[in-house]
Amino acid sequence: MVKQERAARTRQSLVRAAAEVFAREGFVSASLTSISRRAGVSNGALHFHFESKQALARAVEEEAAAVLREIGRSSGGHSGALQHLVDATHALMSSLDQDPVMRAGFELSCGFPRRADGVDLRGQWRGWVEQVLRDAEFEGALAHGVSAMDASVAVVAATVGFEQLGAGDPKWTSGATLAQFWDLMLPRLASTAALPRLRSAGTLSAQ
Amino acid sequence: MVKQERAARTRQSLVRAAAEVFAREGFVSASLTSISRRAGVSNGALHFHFESKQALARAVEEEAAAVLREIGRSSGGHSGALQHLVDATHALMSSLDQDPVMRAGFELSCGFPRRADGVDLRGQWRGWVEQVLRDAEFEGALAHGVSAMDASVAVVAATVGFEQLGAGDPKWTSGATLAQFWDLMLPRLASTAALPRLRSAGTLSAQ
């Protein structure tokens, strides 16, 4: 049991070290030696857990995908689908800013050539946004004449933009920038009944 | 003269070939040999024009920056700053879709590690969007309570998102998606006086 725990911890530090090295050096240039050194394990230990750099990149993306699923699940309160969406965008940007695994996971899926076996994090995010906006439409929380699809085009594009721009300048993933975005969007997206209850800065304690 | 023209043509085909090879193989993996072969010139001719792959990437980015400046200049009509912005976003997405140099130029500035001497195409675009929205504000074309800065955060983020998502799926850079985006945004951004004259699909003949 102790041995299993140690193995899980080693695997975890390798994934985190890989994320940090990919972010600093890029996937192609990153060497397995600098990853194992950063994780404080031997090359042999690395190869015991991961057969290739590709496998490490995949593990980084899979961990980011799990964090993203958790953001979709846990940021939902009792304030309706639109507030759920606002809260989830705050949680996503905050984790991109603070969690090297999330940042590297999204970076890995950016730029050419796309890795053939890559996890589609943006596709996962897009699917989630579309679903939560369909929920908002079903609740009658969308403004007259605004469909869930119209809204999701703008929200998916803008959040992918914040993610990208935030890699170069953290101002773009800040809570203040995101609140400014929602202050602009919510009066267009939300029904007159839903709008007064919505908080553009999010309702999560972390904000 | 003929010799100068031939040299300029060779340089041009090298830049275009580099853009195509970078897009397919990525900057790090791309070889100078595959670039010169694609351009139909010798390795010697490539080295006569460009001392390194870095210099080729820089030339791709500089050409994309020139196209971007031209988009900002030429898409302006007599329909006011907001229509100028709408038209320029259509022209930008259409060129990202069709011009390998534009696509590769933006791809090169995406993903880690950022190249230290890279041209900041997104910064250039952002500065242009901010300026044209300040013009719109000055014209009184923005809705009551909407500032140029509020609007530019959303427009810059969404257009960077379209650019990124369009690299994987051209639907995102299509005129239809962009018109859907502007149909959602313009009623929020434009003053009641300006709104009826605005065309979300753009006023350029190419649309």
Q: Across-strand partners of A142?
A: A190
* B195 inside 8 A of chain A by CB: no
| CB atoms near residue A64 (< 10 Å) | 27
Stated pTM of the model: 0.92
- d(Cα A104, Cα B168) in Å, to the nearest integer? 18
Show residues of chain B in contact with A187, CB under 8 Å. 188
Residues 6+ apart with CB under 8 A from A14: A35, A36, A39, A41, A45, A46, A49, A50, A56, A59
Report the candidate in A24, A108, A160 with the shortest Cα–Cα distance to residue B114. A24
Kindly report the nearest CA distance between residue B3 and chain A, in angstroms: 36
pLDDT higher than threshold 50 for residue B123? yes
Domain ranges of chain A: 1-51, 60-197
The token pair at A155 is 């929200």
- d(Cα A113, Cα A109) in Å, to the nearest integer? 9
The interface predicted TM-score of the complex, written ipTM, equals 0.92
Fold exhibited by the domain A60-197: Tetracycline Repressor; domain 2 (1.10.357)
Q: Across-strand partners of A190?
A: A142
Q: State chain A's maximal CA–CA distance in angstroms.
A: 61
* A25 inside 8 A of chain B by CB: yes
* B164 inside 8 A of chain A by CB: yes
Within chain A, how many helices (H) and strands (E) appear? 9, 0
User: Which CATH architecture best describes the domain B1-51?
Assistant: Orthogonal Bundle (1.10)
The token pair at B140 is 């009184």
**Is residue A80 classed as helix, strand or coil in its secondary structure?**
coil
Q: How does pLDDT run along chain A (207 residues), one tens digit per residue? A: 688 888 899 999 999 999 999 988 888 889 999 999 999 999 999 999 999 999 999 999 999 999 999 999 886 667 899 999 999 999 999 999 999 999 999 988 765 556 667 788 999 999 999 999 999 999 999 999 999 999 999 999 999 999 999 988 999 999 999 999 999 999 999 999 999 999 999 997 544
Q: What letter would DSSP give residue A3?
A: H
B61 CB-side CA count, 13 A: 21
- With helix as H, strand as E and coil as C, how does chain B read? CHHHHHHHHHHHHHHHHHHHHHHHHCCCCCCHHHHHHHHCCCHHHHHHHCCCHHHHHHHHHHHHHHHHHHHHHHCCCCCCHHHHHHHHHHHHHHHHHHCHHHHHHHHHCCCCCCCCCCCCHHHHHHHHHHHHHHHHHHCCCECCCCCHHHHHHHHHHHHHHHHHHHHHCHHHHCHHHHHHHHHHHHHHHECCCCHHHCCCCCCCCCC
* A29 inside 8 A of chain B by CB: yes
User: What pLDDT does A24 receive?
Assistant: 85
Beta carbons of A180 and B107 less than 8 Å apart: no
Identify the closest residue of chain B to A20 by CA–CA distance: B112
The token pair at B132 is 């044209």
